[in-house]
C-alpha cells in the first residue's frame, strides 16, 4: 500500500547524474568526507538502475519504481538484510533531498521501504558498516579528538577486540615504543578475558592509533585507579569504565546525526527519543560494542587480510568467523578467491 503524495508541485526535470552531482556537492559542505564517499558509493547503484531502464528524468520516480529498484539492488549485490537496510536508508535521504528541489513528488521518501530486522537476524547480521565507521571516526578525529569516545571507537574498530578486552587494559599494558597493547587475563582483579589465558596476546597497532592513545593518556584521561589499585587505560572520574558505560558510548557515537549525517529514518530531531543520552539505543542505526567487532572483522576480510591473521588478532577460530562474524556475501568471497587464483 503506497502513501498518498502531494501532486500539486510542479516538478523540475533533472537527470540522475546531475541530481547525484548536486546532492554530493551539497553534502561535501556539511558532512565528513567518509560520509560523502559512502553516500555516493550507495547511490551509484541507482544511476545504474536508471540507465538500464532508460530513466533520464527523476521526475518519473514513483513508489512502485522505488520498490522495483529495491528488489533489483537486493539481487545485484547479494545483500544481507542489514546491508539492504543501509542502502535503502541512504536512498530515503536522497529522495527527501530530491523533494526539496522539486525533482520528485512530495512525500515520496515515505515510500522508500527498508526491511525489518528481527532480533535473531540482528544478533547474526548487525554490524558497524565500514563507511559508517570511517565517517564516525573522521568526525571524532576532528571534533572530539582524544576524548573517551574517540579512544573507545578507535580501539574497538582498529583492534577488533571484545568490549571486555578493551575495558581490561591498563596503562602499563600499552607500550608506545613497540606500538602495542598487551592483553592479560586477570580474573582475580575484575578483568577476565573471555578465552582466559588463551586470550592473552600482544596487539600491533598503527602510529595513528598510538597518537590517539598517547594524547588521551597525556591530556584527557581522568586520573583514577580501580577498586584493586590498578591504573586502567579507560577511566571515568570513578575509576575503570563500566561495561554499561561503554555500551552507552557506542550507542551514542553510532547515531548518524551524532557524526554529521542526516537522519536516515525520517525522524524529527525536535522530538526524537534517541537524542537523549539514555535513549541512544532507540536509534535504529545505533549499535552496541559487538557490532564494532563484527564490522571490523568483515572489513579486514574484505580488504584481503588472510583469515588466519584476522583470527589470531581477534582471538577467534576460522569456524567461528564463518558462523558468527564474516558478513561477506558468497559473491564477494568468490571474487576474492578469483584474485588469488588468476595468477596461478
Q: How far, in Å, CA of 58 to CA of 103, rounded?
A: 6
**CA distances, 262 to each of 4, 41, 77, 167, 324 (Å):** 24, 17, 24, 31, 30
Name beta bridge partners: 235. Answer: 240
Average pLDDT of the segment spanning 291-311: 89
Q: Do domains 16-122 and 130-282 have the same CATH topology?
A: no
Which of 299, 285, 328, 307 shows the shortest CA–CA distance to 78? 328
Cell of 61: 520516480
Q: Which of 86-100, 189-203, 306-320 has the lowest mean pLDDT?
A: 306-320
User: Cell numbers of 83, please?
Assistant: 546491508
Q: Which has more confidence, 341 or 203?
A: 203
Q: May I ask the CATH class of domain 130-282?
A: mainly alpha
Query: 10 Å Cβ neighbour count for 143?
Result: 12
Domain 16-122 belongs to what topology? DNA polymerase; domain 1 (1.10.150)
Can you give the residue ranges of every domain in the chain?
16-122, 130-282
Residue 232's Cβ-side half-sphere holds a number of Cα atoms within 13 Å equal to 26
pLDDT tens, residue by residue, 230-251: 999 999 999 999 999 999 999 9
Joined together, the cell numbers standing for residue 120 give 535473531
- Indicate whether 326 pLDDT > 90: no
Amino acid at each position: 500500500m503506497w502513501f498518498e503524495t502531494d501532486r500539486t508541485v510542479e516538478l523540475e526535470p533533472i537527470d540522475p547524474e546531475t541530481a547525484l552531482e548536486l546532492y554530493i556537492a551539497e553534502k561535501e559542505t556539511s558532512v565528513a568526507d567518509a560520509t560523502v564517499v559512502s553516500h555516493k558509493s550507495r547511490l551509484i547503484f541507482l544511476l545504474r538502475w536508471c540507465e538500464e531502464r532508460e530513466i533520464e528524468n527523476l521526475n518519473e520516480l514513483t513508489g512502485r519504481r522505488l520498490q522495483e529498484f529495491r528488489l533489483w539492488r537486493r539481487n545485484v549485490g547479494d545483500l544481507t538484510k542489514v546491508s539492504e537496510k543501509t542502502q535503502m536508508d541512504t536512498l530515503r535521504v536522497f529522495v527527501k533531498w530530491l523533494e526539496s528541489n522539486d525533482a520528485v513528488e512530495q512525500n515520496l521518501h515515505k515510500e522508500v521501504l527498508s526491511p525489518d530486522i528481527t532480533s535473531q537476524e540482528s544478533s547474526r547480521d548487525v554490524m558497524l558498516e565500514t563507511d559508517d565507521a570511517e565517517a564516525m571516526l573522521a568526525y571524532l578525529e576532528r571534533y572530539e579528538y582524544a576524548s573517551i569516545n574517540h579512544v573507545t571507537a578507535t580501539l574497538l574498530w582498529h583492534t577488533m577486540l571484545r568490549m571486555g578486552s578493551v575495558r581490561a587494559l591498563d596503562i602499563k599494558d600499552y607500550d608506545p615504543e613497540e606500538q602495542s597493547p598487551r592483553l592479560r587475563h586477570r580474573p582475580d582483579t575484575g578483568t577476565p578475558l573471555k578465552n582466559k589465558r588463551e586470550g592473552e596476546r600482544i596487539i600491533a597497532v598503527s602510529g595513528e592509533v598510538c597518537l590517539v592513545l598517547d594524547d588521551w593518556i597525556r591530556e584527557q584521561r581522568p586520573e583514577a585507579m580501580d577498586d584493586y589499585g590498578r591504573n586502567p587505560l579507560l577511566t571515568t572520574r570513578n575509576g575503570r569504565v563500566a561495561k554499561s558505560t561503554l555500551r552507552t558510548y557506542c550507542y551514542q557515537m553510532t547515531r548518524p546525526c551524532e557524526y554529521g549525517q542526516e537522519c536516515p529514518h525520517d525522524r524529527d530531531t525536535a522530538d526524537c527519543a534517541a537524542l537523549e543520552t539514555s535513549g541512544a539505543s532507540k536509534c535504529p542505526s545505533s549499535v552496541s560494542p559487538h557490532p564494532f567487532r563484527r564490522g571490523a572483522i568483515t572489513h579486514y576480510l574484505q580488504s584481503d587480510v588472510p583469515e588466519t591473521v584476522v583470527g589470531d588478532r581477534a582471538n577467534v577460530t576460522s569456524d567461528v568467523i564463518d558462523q558468527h562474524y564474516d558478513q561477506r556475501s558468497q559473491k564477494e568471497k568468490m571474487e576474492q578467491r578469483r584474485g588469488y587464483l588468476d595468477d596461478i
